[in-house]
Structure 1
Amino acid sequence: MTPPLPPHILSFFVFIFLTSVVSSQQFLTSEQTTLLNLKQRWGNPPSLANWNSTSSPCSWPEVQCRNGSVTELKLDSKELTGPIPPFICDLGNLESMSLRDNYFTEEFPKVFYNCSKLVELDISQNVFFGRLPDDIDRLSKLTFVDFGGNNFTGDIPPAIGNLSALTSLSLYQNLFNGTIPPEIGNLSNLVTLGMAYNEFADPVMPPEYGNLSNLKILWMTETNLIGMIPESLSNLVSLRSLDLSMNYLEGEIPPGLFLLTNLDTMFLYLNKLSGNLPSVIQSTNLTQIDIAMNKLNGSIPDDVGNLQKLEVLNLYSNQFSGEIPTSISQIPTLRIFRVFRNKLTGEIPPEFGLHSKLESFEVSENNFTGKLPENLCAGGALTGVIVFSNNLTGEIPRSFESCVRVNSIQLYNNNFTGEIPPRVWTLLNLSSLRLTGNSFSGELPGKVAWNLSRLEIDNNKFSGPIPSAISSWEKLNVFKASNNLLSGEIPRELTTLSELTDLYLDGNSFSGEFPSQIKSWNSLTILNLAGNKLSGQIPASLGSLPNLLQLDLSENQFSGQIPPQLSNLRFTNLNLSSNKLTGQIPSELDNSVYQNSFLNNPNLCSNSHISNLHNCYTKSSRKKFSPKIIILIIILSSLVLLLAILFALFMFRDRLKKNPKPKPNRTTWRLISFHNLDFTEENILSCMTDANLIGSGGSGKVYRISVGPPRGFVAVKRIFNKKLDRNLENEFSSEVQILGSIRHSNIVKLLCCLSNPNSKLLVYEYMEHQSLDKWLHGKKRKPEPGLDPHFVLDWRRRLQIAIGAAQGLCYMHHDCSPPIVHRDVKSSNILLDSEFKAKIADFGLAQILEKQKPGDDNMASIVGSLGYFAPEYAYTTRINERIDVYSFGVVLLELVTGKEPNGKDGELNLAEWAWKHHGESDSIVGVFDSDIKDSDTYMEEMSTVFKLGLICTSTLPSSRPSMKDVLEILRRCNPFDELPEEMKEGRDEFDVAPLLKRERYVTRPDENDGVLVAQV
């Protein structure tokens, strides 16, 4: 037993203990005072309401203590504003401070230098600006630094390489525009390095970064990197995640890069990368490889099959050639396989799906031959079979009847044969079945999948009648069955499909009369029955379809008169040619707009001299009067006319001698063509009348002019009508220069231009559905010709339009050399063809970046359209692609919300309103357009597009994604499950929530025409 301490020693220890407690209590009281002063300096924010003088700071959620002293201060997302007070470092034992996601607006606070024990500092997602100080290495004990999501500019100071204790350094998403310091390579303890989303001026990756032997994450997305990937990166033996996406790297990937034995995740969206994939890939821990959307070439290495933990392999949109290694199909963990849009050949390995649970299989737009793998659905997880535009043969495997999760099967443009396995038609989740351009045969089923909305079987060998049970295909939107062997009568039940919008049955052998009563086609916009054997009268009920825009009944045996009810519709395309129609054309259709709509109907007549048709007045006159009376009328009329001419010559003979009539001044037009033309300038000039006028704007008028088959119509834009001013001349020159030299399916074709000293004519392909804004907002104003006020754009079409427009802008920004900036992206400049395919139009303000000269403000002074132009564009003459991204973001918000871009009577514009709603509401449902808000199936897609619109309209240009990224997100938006893996998993590095949270600032120029930001 230990003997008791002597009384005097025991007293000594009690004294020491009590002294320590008192001292600690006094110290904590002092720190409490410091914290309460901080609260007061920051305006007593409600988020710190629990900070009070009656409780211990160590009990506050934002404060951590050790031994009775504050060691950690976590003030994330507290909506704090103002400067950082210097007395914050009176917290003498403070080791960790996080001020993430607030509204601090000042230069880098050097007050942190006084926090002598600070090892972790997070000031990310604020509005700090200016340069990082050159003596930042005074914070010598730091192990964790996050300066991301601010507005720091200039160079990253080399002194940062002296912070030898650092394990994590995050500088992402700032405005750094200087060099990338090689001194960072000295940080031997570094585990995470994030420098993404900066626009470095000398963007060569320093080879010294290969010295970072402990580095696990290297994140340098969109940093303007050029040149080759340094060979030294092969020394990063601890690397797990490498993201060099959205850059301009070139050359081959270093052969040793995939020898990194600890690499877990690889994201290599290496824009502009060329060369061969390394022949040796032996990392056994790789789970994801994404090198999509580049210019990589060569074959896919066999060694990829050695990656036994690989889950995702994305190689699409490159120039890979050769065959798919069989070993890839044997990887037991493979879920996502995407190699579409390459130059791959040979047969698809038959073991795909046999060894792993495939979820996505996309091999379209290659040159594959042979049959489809039998076991694609063996794992029960496949959601899509996308193999279109290859040379595949054989029949659809019977095993496809077990594809219970598949929602999309796209086999079009191949050489498949045989019948569709019966249960494929009724797969539980199937919504899209596209079989166009094969040699499939058999009859149509009576029952299809409950959710099937798109069925395309045109250009095949399907036969037999349309089953009367087609009334059960209730969700069908698009039914394309052109050019098959279908026969029999068109069943009345077909007209009960209320959601049908596009119906193509042309090029078959249908006979009998068309159903006279049409019950539920209120959504139908296109009806094509051409090239059949239909007879009887054209149903008058067609005239009651509120949204019908295209009607083609040509090459049938319809008889009788044209129903006058068809005059109620405003057709963009009408073709009743080659039938047996009789009588007079209804007066509303009897004009030059429908010049070619009634050909080869001998017993039709016209009052407006439509070519190839009799004049109705002449015919009726011949029936009423005998031939003798007609001859007498003609003789008397001729005599009267002759006497009138002689009298006129006699009366004005002297005047004509004294004042001879000047010779007519024939205006000479100059024509420049950019495509093969099937019309002449006379076709255009003779029809420039008000009857053909379809629109007008600040710079001129637009006409719809018929030029005959096969083109039908063209759109003619007349720029000004008098002497052109300088801006209008610039617009004309810009449009001709750009549209005359670029070709893309999502950019409107400029066919030719005509000019004379007083007028400029631009002749484009005609877009049947005109502009997007008329479909979104036309119902809110007086209807215009060609626009039905009751038509509703469903969500599928809106997403299709967004993707098409993004493809056009992506081509301009990333595939044109030099890049082209449109500068006036808006919904009225997005035109829609007969299938609602979007095309970018109106390049009057567009500018080729390479040709922009400093100080040239002629074009830069025109800032586009109110509500669409980016904030920085109002005060700077610098032009870059980010202004188009902002404008396109507004268009995305229009598509989702249905709102117009401009606020009225002092209201917020659409972008400001959307940000405000996002900040104030927990639910996103309230923003959706009333026309689409009930589309529960697409709720996630609409939410994603809304959020994408928010990010595109970020106030800071550097916060906006590129059009290449915008396009990729939109393409993967349907279904949401097929978004890129890094987005689905929500990695912290790619988290968009902080971007949305902090974008409530206004921009202003600095003295160097840069960008500073101040809190609203």
Structure 2
Amino acid sequence: MTKNPLSSSIVHLYILTFLILTLPFHGNTQNNDPNQEQSILLRLKQHWSNPPSLSHWTPSSDHCTWPEITCDNGHAITKLEIIDKNITNTIPPFVCDLKNLTYIDFHYNYIPGFFPTALYNCSDLEYLDLSLNYLVGTLPDDIKQLSPQLEYLNLAGNNFTGDIPAAIGSLTGLVSLQLVANLFNGSFPLEIGDLSNLEELALSNNGFKPQYIPSSFTKLKKLRNLWMTETNLIGEIPEGIGNMSALEYVDLSVNSLSGLIPDGIFLLKNLTILYLHKNRLSGSIPRTVEALNLQVIDLSKNTLTGTIPDDFGKLTSLTGLALYFNQLSGEVPVSIGRLPQLENIGLWSNNLSGVLPPDFGRYSKLKKFEVPLNQFHGELPKYLCANMELIGVIAFDNKLTGEFPGSLGSCDSLEIVRVHDNQLSGKIPDGLWTLLNLTTLMISNNLFSGQLPDKLMNNQFSGPIPAGISSWERLEVLRASNNLFSGAIPQEFTALPSLSTVLLDGNQLSGHLPSKIISWKSLTTLNLSRNQLSGEIPASLGLLPGLLYLDLSGNEFSGQIPPELGILRLPSLNLSSNKLSGRIPHEFENAAFDSSFLNNSGLCSNIPSLGLRSCRGETMKSNKLSSHFIAAVSSIAAVFFLVAVVYTIYMCRGYRKRSNLSDSTWKLTSFQRLNFTKADILSSLIDGNLIGQGGSGRVYRIPINRSAEYVAIKRIWDNVNIDHKLEREFLAEVQILGTIRHSNIVKLLCCISGKNSKLLVYEYMENYSLDRWIHRTQRPYSSNGISGSVHHVILDWPKRLQIAIGTAHGLCYMHHHCSPPIIHRDVKSSNILLDSEFNAKIADFGLARLLIKRGEPNTMSVVAGSFGYMAPEYARTRRVSEKIDVYSFGVILLELVSGKEAHYGDETSSLAEWARRHFQEGKPIVEALDEDINEPQYFEEINSVFKLGLMCTNPLPWSRPAMNDVLQILLRLQPLGEKINANEYDVAPLLQNSESERSLKCDDSIFTSV
């Protein structure tokens, strides 16, 4: 039967008409079906392994009410805002099945994998934020396939590498492009200049190859924010930057830009923030300034010359001006002191001169006034605290004269005053001593006079130190050398708990020192030299845990040196020019103290290098004893002496046969109060007490004083031909452990030196090393050995977290509270020792290194460390920084979570690499856990520690967190009731020596992060 063409056409016409008529009502029915869209969301939740943070996503509720979801009036999903939900899996392609989606924000999660090209299918996407995730690889060359409507693209805080592709210049709808803090190590393209609608460009903190600022960037006429800090920029700033009229925020700091500052940059009328610090810019600052909206100018740490422009005085919106560390000269324009919004002024280390503008602080809420290391003369401005918000006055090393501003005496906000090394005179305002927030007052090397008031809290000039000083509990540094202070030091002065430095040398203090000194737990330096103090040296000084530098020379102290001082491991001690008598404590009988006791006629020692008379031949005389009694006692003593000699000879012969050691050749240097003798140690170095051995020697467990106490002995250098590498290890360990004290660093009690062997005596650790617990090895010895036997007890998660926190405390102390910082270089689980309560202590500092000062080489001639724990940049370049310890600690975190050893994998991979692959492949973290801790109630904590381990083992050092940040993260994971503050846990930091203090303080300037 033949079809009728007319009928067929009519049918087609009807169908077409029906579709046209129904399109407005039913054209998007499938896409807008609420049930279908909810099913996509539930599928997404399942793909992400049903995270607890999305437990409210249930079929029984309306998905448009979920806080992460936004729907339009037609109930179609337009926004996904899934932020900080611990998402650990990839973004699936079916997300773009939500056809009306315009907005995706998945930032601050742990999303792994490459850039999700499946998002190309989200054809209406306008906003995409994937920042702060774990995305890796390069940005794809076809990234231009993203929606042409895309306005906002934020990929900051990921691990993208390589180049930024030129194709990104095709996304011409972009208003904001943010690629901050990735691992880009290639280049950024000129084509970014084609993004004509761009208002925000953020490329900071990437290791690009050295590159000029492309001139094409100056075509970005709508650009408001330009952020390119630490992007390895070189060359000059394009002059055309002055044509980018919309610019409000410019940050080109911490690069290698050179040449002049373009005149046009100060002609940008909308400019509010200008950061150009830490470059190589030279020449003068442009004289004409029309950017009257400027709020912050930071041109510090360049090589700028010339004078400060007068036009800066027109910037009525200016809150911060940082010009420190340049070569500027001339006077500060008077008009700058009258700026109504000025809060911070930093002019450190220039060649500025003249009188400081008198109106500083008069018309603005000035907070920080920093003008040291210049040639200013005249008076300090008297209105600095007129608006009662001043925090710091730093004006040392100038030629200032006149009196200290009286208004500062009522400045309750004041915290720091440093006006030392000037020619200031007159009396310090009485009220200054009662300012409760003042922590640092440094006024030495001036011409101040007058007496201290009754309500003193800090320093002194003449007259006595009043008892009211006890009210200033926050005082940390007291510098009052070379004044005319007199009278006794009151007991109340020793009640200041925060004091770390007391310098009262060169005054007229007299009387006895307080006998009870109990609150100076943070004190590291005490200098009372060149006074008229008398009486005995208080034994309580020996109980101050942080004391490192003690100078009591040039006084009239008498009596014996208290043996308690021997407990202190003092790098510097000076008791010379007093009236002391008796024998010096044996801990000080070595060449390190050869000038510490001079000009004390009553002191004696049997060490010739100390310059004291010999103690040999002295006898104790007593007129009350009869000659018969003396004879009897002498006879008895002689008998006992002969018995002792015979016994000693017998024992020594036996000992020589066993170990070929002679007690007379050994020298003991103590760092703690000891309850054992040298003989106790030497007689116990037998095979029966051997508990460990490694590359550095043998380790013994030795009972002391017939009690239940033990010490651990590390013995090195068994051979006559001393290995210089072992010698360096020994000296490094003694140097470091002999000068630091922390409850999470193993305690070195003493060292014993012999001709062919050296012994380090440590506190004994009952629960051996961490590696034996988490790897359940049954080796007879660990590589370290300063520990005890392993019990067959499972190390549960709370104990593992406790160990992680303790280890982090120790490393945080080494990195952030020691000066210079200490780099261990061999952090590993076998060097984490555990006491009876499973408190962690870091051991084996044979490879440790003091981080050297800036400007000196910071590489090691030999790579040292252990496979699996060694940071890749250290193995490759031998560069030493705190980040190599952070990497090793990250490996320990992964060990605690997984139970696997650091070298887990094949011969070319490690635990850190395996864990990173496991995470990037989207595998559940639960599959990586040690079966001993696979407990649901701790999963969130374990999950966080696993991810923290990945952060710490990032291949690039600058992407790893600092130890103080790592510690704070771990502390937040503690159960409530067990939390402790890191500052309460750590002991006082080591003291900066006075010569390096100035450079340290300069780097602490307020403008480093304005």
TM-score by length of 2: 0.65
Q: 2:816, 2:542 → 1: CA distance? A: 33
8 Å contact 1:209–1:232 — kept in the other structure? no
| In 2, Cα distance between equivalents of 1:146 and 1:456 | 53
Give yes or no for the alignment of 1:31 onto 2:37: yes
1:532 aligned residue: 531
Q: Which residue in 2 is equivalent to 1:102? A: 109
Worse overlay, 94-103 or 301-310: 94-103
Query: Offset of 1:177 from its aligned partner?
Result: 2.0
Per the TM alignment, residue 474 of structure 1 is displaced from its structure 2 partner at its CA by 5.1
Label 1:87 to 1:290 Cα distance change in 2 as closer, same or farther (>3 A): same
Alignment partner of 2:240: what SS? Answer: helix
Cα distance in 1 for residues equivalent to 2:901 and 2:409: 53
Deviates more, 1:85-94 or 1:429-438: 85-94
- Structure 2: state its 5+ residue gaps: 1-16, 624-663, 673-692, 699-715, 752-759, 764-809, 832-846, 893-899, 903-929, 934-944, 953-965, 990-998
Q: 1:333 aligns with which of 322, 335, 341?
A: 341
Q: How does 1:443-592 map to 2 (within 5 A)?
A: 443-449=451-457, 455=458, 462-473=461-472, 476-491=475-490, 493-494=492-493, 502-514=501-513, 526-538=525-537, 550-562=549-561, 571-585=570-584
Residue aligning to 1:41: 47
Whole-Å separation in 2 of the counterparts to 1:470 and 1:556: 23
In structure 2, C-alpha distance between the alignment counterparts of 1:437 and 1:787, rounded to whole Å: 45
Per-residue CA deviations over 1:218-238 (Å, capped at 9, x if unaligned) read 111111111111112111100
Partner residue in 2 for 1:250: 258
CA contact (8 A) 1:863 1:873 kept: no
Paired residue secondary structure (2:431): helix
Match of 2:136 in 1: 129
Q: CA shift at 1:767, angstroms? A: 7.9
1:367 aligns with 2:333: no
Q: Residues of 2 paired with 1:724 and 1:107: CA distance? A: 54
CA distance in 1, matches of 2:135, 2:61: 33
Give the 3-state SS of the residue equivalent to 1:250 in structure 2: strand
Provide the rounded CA distance (Å) in 1 between the counterparts of 2:251 and 2:550.
Answer: 52
* Residue 430 of structure 2: aligned partner: 422
1:845 deviates by: 12
1:420-458 deviation line (CA, Å, top 9, x unaligned) = 122222234323221111111111222135xxxxx455x
Is contact 1:336–1:361 with CA below 8 Å preserved after alignment?
yes
| 783 and 148 in structure 1: CA distance in 2 versus 1, 3 angstrom threshold | same
Which digits, 9 at most, give the CA deviation of each residue in 1:588-637, with x for residues without a partner?
6666554444333334444455655443444659999xxxxxxxxxxxxx
Residue matched to 2:626: none
Match of 2:83 in 1: 76
* Match 1:265 to one of 273, 282, 286: 273
Alignment of 1:418-817 (within 5 A): 418-449=426-457, 455=458, 462-473=461-472, 476-491=475-490, 493-494=492-493, 502-514=501-513, 526-538=525-537, 550-562=549-561, 571-585=570-584, 594-609=593-608, 612-618=611-617, 690-691=667-668, 770-772=738-740, 774-775=741-742, 777-778=744-745, 781=747, 783-784=749-750
CA distance in 2, matches of 1:330, 1:700: 70
Distance in 2 (alpha carbons) for counterparts of 1:523 and 1:846: 24
Structure-1 residue corresponding to 2:1004: 971
The Cα offsets for residues 248-300 of structure 1, whole Å up to 9 and x where unpaired, read as 11111111111111112223334333333222221111111122233333322
1:166 alignment partner in structure 2: 174
Match of 2:145 in 1: 138
**Structure 2 match to 1:229:** 237
Over aligned residues, Cα RMSD in angstroms? 5.2
How far 1:697 moved relative to its partner?
12
**CA 1:761 to 1:121, structure 2 compared with 1: closer, same or farther past 3 Å?**
closer
User: Is the Cα–Cα contact under 8 Å of residues 153 and 175 in structure 1 kept in the other structure?
Assistant: yes
Kindly report which structure 2 residues correspond to 1:854-873, keeping only aligned pairs within 5 A, or say none.
859-860=862-863, 862-863=864-865, 870=871, 872-873=872-873
8 Å CA contact 2:205–2:230 kept in 1: the answer is: yes
Which stretch of structure 1 is more off in the superposition, 150-159 or 408-417? 150-159
Per the TM alignment, residue 217 of structure 1 is displaced from its structure 2 partner at its CA by 0.9
Residues 822, 368 of structure 1: CA spacing in aligned structure 2 closer, same or farther, 3 A cutoff? farther
**Which residue of 2 is the match for residue 642 of structure 1?**
none
Cα offsets for 1:828-882 (capped at 9, x unmatched): 9xxxxxxxxxxx9847999999999xxxx9845x347997x54x448x625667x
The 1:297/1:615 distance shift into structure 2, 3 A limit, reads same
Contact 1:58-1:65 at 8 Å conserved across structures:
no
Equivalent position of 1:315 in the other structure: 323
Partner of 2:118: 111
Q: 1:86: which partner in 2? A: 93
What letter is aligned with 1:463?
S
Change (3 A) 1:849 1:424: closer
Query: Residue 71 of structure 1: SS of its match in structure 2?
Result: strand
**Which amino acid is 1:380 matched to?**
M
Seq. identity, %? 41
Residue equivalent to 2:636: none
Q: How far 1:95 moved relative to its partner?
A: 2.4
1:917 to 945, 970, 975: 970
Please tell me whether the aligned partners of residues 482 and 506 of structure 2 are also in contact (alpha carbons under 8 angstroms).
yes
Residue pair 1:444, 1:465 contacting (<8 A) in 2 also = yes
For 2:1002 and 2:109, locate their aligned partners in 1 and report how far apart those are by CA, in whole Å: 28
Structure 2 counterpart of 1:390, which letter?
A: N
Give how far 1:164 is off. 1.8
Residue 79 of structure 1: SS of its match in structure 2? coil
- Cα–Cα, structure 1 residues 980 and 566, in superposed 2: closer, same or farther, change >3 Å? closer
TM-score by length of 1: 0.65
1:649 maps to none
Partner deviation per Cα, 1:536-574 (whole Å, 9 max, x = no partner): 555566666676655544333444555566566655444
Task: Tell me if the contact between 1:237 and 1:260 (Cα under 8 Å) persists in the aligned partners.
Answer: yes
The one-letter amino acid paired with 1:777 is: N
Instruction: State how far apart, in whole Å, the 2-side matches of 1:445 and 1:43 are.
Output: 69
**Residue pair 1:274, 1:295 contacting (<8 A) in 2 also:** yes
Q: Give 1:194's aligned amino acid.
A: A
SS in 2 for 1:175: coil
- Does structure 1 conserve the Cα–Cα contact (< 8 Å) formed by 2:518 and 2:540? no
Contact preservation (8 Å) 1:925, 1:933? no
Q: What is the CA distance between 1:190 and its match in structure 2?
A: 0.9
Residues of 1 paired with 2:375 and 2:730: CA distance?
Answer: 39
1:345 pairs with 2:353: yes
Alpha-carbon contact 1:326-1:349 (below 8 Å) kept:
yes
Distance of aligned partners of 1:386 and 1:787 in 2 relative to their CA distance in 1, 3 Å threshold: farther
Distance 1:33 1:694 in 2: 69
1:700–1:721 Cα contact (<8 Å) kept: no
> Is the Cα contact below 8 Å between 1:65 and 1:72 reproduced in 2?
no
Shift, 1:412, TM fit: 1.0
Amino acid paired to 1:97: I
Counterparts of 2:538 and 2:238 in 1: how far apart (Å)? 72
The change in CA–CA distance for 1:417 and 1:117 in structure 2 (over 3 A counts) is: same
Check conservation: 2:825, 2:849, Cα contact below 8 A.
Answer: no
Q: Secondary structure at the match of 2:876?
A: coil
Distance 2:590 2:441 in 1: 41
Tell me what 2:200 maps to: 192
